[in-house]
A and B are shown apart, each in its own frame.
Chain A
Amino acid sequence: MTFILILVMALVTYLIRISPFILFGKHQKTPLWVTYLGKYLPPAVMSMLIIYSLKDINPMDYIHSLPVLIAILTTGVLHLWKRNNLLSIISGTVVYMMLIQKVFI
């Protein structure tokens, strides 16, 4: 049963990922509105993923929300300053881990 359930999850996930190619891939030229969405969805989706990754944190619950806020600011400011992906991500994560392990307990 476990095996079948995993196969179902795999199949549904793959069908979602392939459906734009099946729906629009056969056209000689992709419709203009699809091209438009393809170009402007990425920044909108990235914003959504940030919120999605923080969705379980209640902003009023400072013990949990302040470390997230500080870590995001660290990541963001550092990135605007140095434009180094790795540096920004590692620094933000280390700051977050220290905050929730040592400071906001």
Chain B
Amino acid sequence: MKRVFRSAFPLTIPVLLGYISVGIAFGLLVVKSDLDLWVALLMSVLVYAGAMQFLAIQLLVNPVSILQVAIITLFVNIRHLFYGLSFIDLFKTFGIKKHYMIFALTDETYSLLCAIALKEDVDQENLFFAVSFLNQLYWITGTLIGYLIGSWLVFDTTGIEFAMTALFVVIFIEQWLGYKDHRPSLIGLGSSLIAVMVFGPKNMILPAMVMILIGLMGSKSLIESKEVHL
């Protein structure tokens, strides 16, 4: 297992940077909102969803009903519904670790696992688990650091959250180079841009996902034929 973690670590470095920095930002925001350390840690351990946790700070400071919290969570995290689809067959072979793998399927862990899944000659069960576990460890560590250093930061970290966008850009490029057909990437870009413009930044996720699903299902035969013939 130790060897697995050693080979998993280099793979997780991009997420390490992203999660530690965004985790710190989250921890700082929790302090500023006068919430306790256990609130921050409980969220990072049990909820483990970046964008949702930032939103949760607002929901906890100005409490709303349980039903509202449930619906907002559903809308913000509904994109995670997609992620398991890629691993249904693979995770079936994972035994008890399967449950943690499913729980820990965040945006970044999902992207990383997609990239690792392209490599064939690896012990996927243990490597996948190690990657997921390390990623959550970074997230919790970042949360803790952010809470502890609170306001006495020595350097200006404004803009460090761009690490997350940069990670998405890098993975986007890797996927662009890895897939023969670029239509899925373009469908994603187009759908999201239209969703932002038509429905506004706050409500873009659901319409974007619906358009992506329609776009992908609509061009299913085109995309599949290209993959076979080239």
| A contact set with B: CB distance below 8 Å | 1-10, 12-14, 16-21, 24-25, 30, 33-56, 67-68, 71-72, 75-76, 79-80, 85-86, 88-90, 92-93, 96-97, 99-101
Contact = CB atoms under 8 A, between A and B. Distances in A.
Contact of B169 (A8, A48, A92): A92
A23 to B, nearest CB: 9
Contacts, number: 249
14 contacts: A30-B88, A41-B86, A41-B216, A42-B175, A43-B184, A43-B185, A44-B188, A44-B212, A48-B192, A50-B189, A85-B14, A88-B166, A93-B21, A97-B162
A51 B49 contact: no
Contacts of A92: 162, 165-166, 169
A75 B21 CA distance: 18
Contacts of B186: 47
Contacts of B103: 14, 17-18
B24 interface: no
Contacts of B196: 51, 55
Contact of A6 (B43, B189, B191): B43
Contacts of A101: 156, 158-159
Nearest to A44: B188
Interface in B19-64: 21, 35, 39, 42-43, 46-49, 52, 56, 59-60, 63
A93 B166 contact: yes
Contact of B73 (A9, A18, A21, A54): A9
A9 B208 contact: no
B56 A6 contact: yes
B205 A52 contact: yes
Contacts of A5: 56, 59-60, 63, 66, 69
Interface string B113-155: 0100000000000000000000000000000000000000000
Given A10-B47, A92-B166, A43 B179 contact: yes
Tell me which of B105, B164, B165, B175 has the highest count of chain A C-beta atoms within 10 A of its own C-beta: B165
A9 B191 contact: no
Contacts of B191: 44, 48
